[in-house]
Amino acid sequence: MRVKALFASPEPGAAVELGPVLVSGMAWSGSARIAKVEVAFAGGSEWIEARLTGPEEKHAWRRWDMPTREEMQCTVHIGREFVDVPAGIRRTLRERLRQICEALVALGSHRTLLRSLVQSSLAITIGSWLFRYEFEPVRNRVVVVQAFQQR
């Protein structure tokens, strides 16, 4: 029997506010214990490992949930396409964006302000470089999307 899983909360199609949302569900298998559950957001392009709860038993339902945004560590993604940016600039960029990410997560309770920041074009300048980035609130992640060297 194939492993199967379902979402319990929030219900499929439910509208949720920006901010902490507990995503939870159940997984089961007719032939083995459930060792891991991964959940995809943003159309399945990236998977996040869920936290398993409850007893681990063969042929049994296993509860799972996703950590809330406050429990997830902020991450910064600077893609391979930015290898031409000097290493020292990338290190400084990573540290500043990590601080920005943590500040944006802290704003999670101020939904209107956070929503306007997320929808705006975010940029940072380091030396002669200008970086445009986006904040992904579901993943607590900042992603660099463009880099320009100003002359």
**What CATH number is attached to the domain comprising 47?**
2.60.40.650
HSE-CB for 125 with a 13 A CA cutoff: 5
Mean pLDDT of the chain: 77
Reported as a pLDDT band with limits 50, 70 and 90, residue 88 is: very high
* Residues 88, 126 share a domain: yes
Whether 70 maps to a domain, the answer reads no
Residue 118's pLDDT is: 59
Place of tokens 């391979």: 80
Chosen domain end from 13, 37, 65: 65
Distinct helix (H) and strand (E) counts, the chain:
2, 10
Q: Which range has the top average pLDDT, 38-42, 81-85, 97-101? A: 81-85
Beta-strand relationship, 75-77 and 141-149: parallel
Beta-strand relationship, 46-49 and 24-28: unpaired
Q: Is 144 exposed, middle or buried (0-12, 13-18, 19+ CB in 10 A)?
A: buried
Residue 70's pLDDT is: 53
Q: Which range has the top average pLDDT, 86-95, 103-112, 120-129? A: 86-95
8-63 per-position pLDDT tens digit: 887 767 776 655 677 888 988 877 888 888 887 655 666 778 889 878 887 788 89
Whether 43 maps to a domain, the answer reads yes
The sign of the torsion formed by the CA atoms of 89, 92, 94, 97 equals negative
Hey, what amino acid is at 111?
R
Hey, what amino acid is at 123?
A
> What does pTM read for this prediction?
0.51
Looking at the chain, how many residues does it have? 151
Q: Residue 27: which domain range? A: 4-65
Q: Distance of alpha carbon 73 from its chain centroid, rounded?
A: 9
* Residues 125, 82 share a domain: yes
- Cα separation, 13 vs 20, whole angstroms: 17
How many domains is the chain built from? 2
- Cα separation, 35 vs 10, whole angstroms: 23
